[in-house]
Structures are given as C-alpha cells and as structure tokens.
Amino acid sequence: MNKKEQVKQKAMTEFTTPLKKVVSKEEESNTEVNLEINIEEYFKDVKITDLEKNSFLESILFNKPFKYRIELFDGKVKIEFKTLTEDENLEILQDKSLDKIKQGVNISPKEVLLMAKKELVLMINFIELNGTKIELNPYSVDEKMEILNNKIHEQLLNVIYKQVDKFNKLVGYLSYKADCPDFWKTDTDR
C-alpha cells in the first residue's frame, strides 16, 4: 500500500470510528444501510452555507486545503482552520506515538496530548488575538508548537480543540454530501 492509500485508509478509519459506536448490536447484520441512517443522525446538527459549499468545491477542484474561519469571544479571537495536505497527514501517521498504539503499547497522557497538539497546529492557518495576528503557516510543526505554547493560554487551547472538532465534522459532512446532486443546488434553487 503506497503512502497516499495509507492516508486514505487512515482518514476513512477516523471518519467511520465514531459512527460505528452509533450502530447497535441489533443493527450489525445490516450495517451498510444503518450506517447511512446513522451518518445522517451523526451530522444532524451540522448546518452548511452556500459559501461553505462553494469553498469546499473550490478546494476539491483546485487541489488545495479547505479553509474555514471562526470568531470566538465576540470577535476577540479569530481562527482560520484548514484541511490537512497529504504530506501533513503522512507526518501525523509517521508519529512514533502512533506506532506504539498500532503495536498495542500504551502511551502516556503527555504523548496523547502531543499528538493532538501536533494535529491541531497543522490545521491552524492563523490565530488572531485582540487584533494581533499569529501566522502559523510558514513554520515547521515544532516551531508552530513552540508558538502555541508561548502565545496561547491552555484554556484557550481547550476551546480551540472543541472548534477543531466542529470543523472536522463540517468537513466530514461536506465530504459525505459531495456526491449528492441536490446538495450542490443553492438555497434559492430548492
């Protein structure tokens, strides 16, 4: 299996893992149909705007990361997330802690936190705090981690992690709905 296939396999595993928890024992015999139903249930709180659809389509057509900006605390904190590139996904897959997990070795809470933080810094394009923009894009992962550790309070990082979950859910739903013809109609076309 080449690196690109490994990334796709990992992405599918991560995407379907929360869904597998939704499928009950009674439904396991007809999992394909029930996964379809449970996917809709899983994404029920995700609302997608036409602008998000168009940005997602553009990212697919031009092979570039999908970007999404959010504002927190009445605009005092602004964050731009982006989907990971193939190289960034490979960087996460090659993490030594991930190798330990695959081998069934328990990892420390610190290693879990470092893996999560690594993924987080790769997904953040920039953070703006009270009008001061902190660019993370041109830096290495280690430099990005250093910037986050020095400039972002741990409590704010916890809030950002929750926003990353929402972003990932949005991207998952956009990916899931991408092949539905009605999905690409604008709100005014429906």
Which residue in 161, 141, 143 sits closest to 153, CA to CA? 161
* Residue 99 pLDDT grade (very low, low, confident, very high; cuts 50, 70, 90): confident
Work out the angle at residue 115's Cα, subtended by the Cα atoms of residues 58 and 8, and round it to the nearest 5 degrees: 45
pLDDT (tens digit per residue) in 116-175: 888 888 899 999 999 999 888 778 888 888 888 888 888 898 899 899 999 999 999 999
pTM score, whole prediction? 0.70
Please report the sign of the dihedral spanned by the C-alpha atoms of residue 137, residue 64, residue 159, residue 89: negative
pLDDT (tens digit per residue) in 152-162: 888 898 899 89
Cβ-contact 111, 97 below 8 angstroms: yes
Domain boundaries, the chain: 1-40, 49-179
pLDDT computed for residue 17 by the predictor: 46
Record: fold of 49-179: rbstp2171 (3.30.2220)
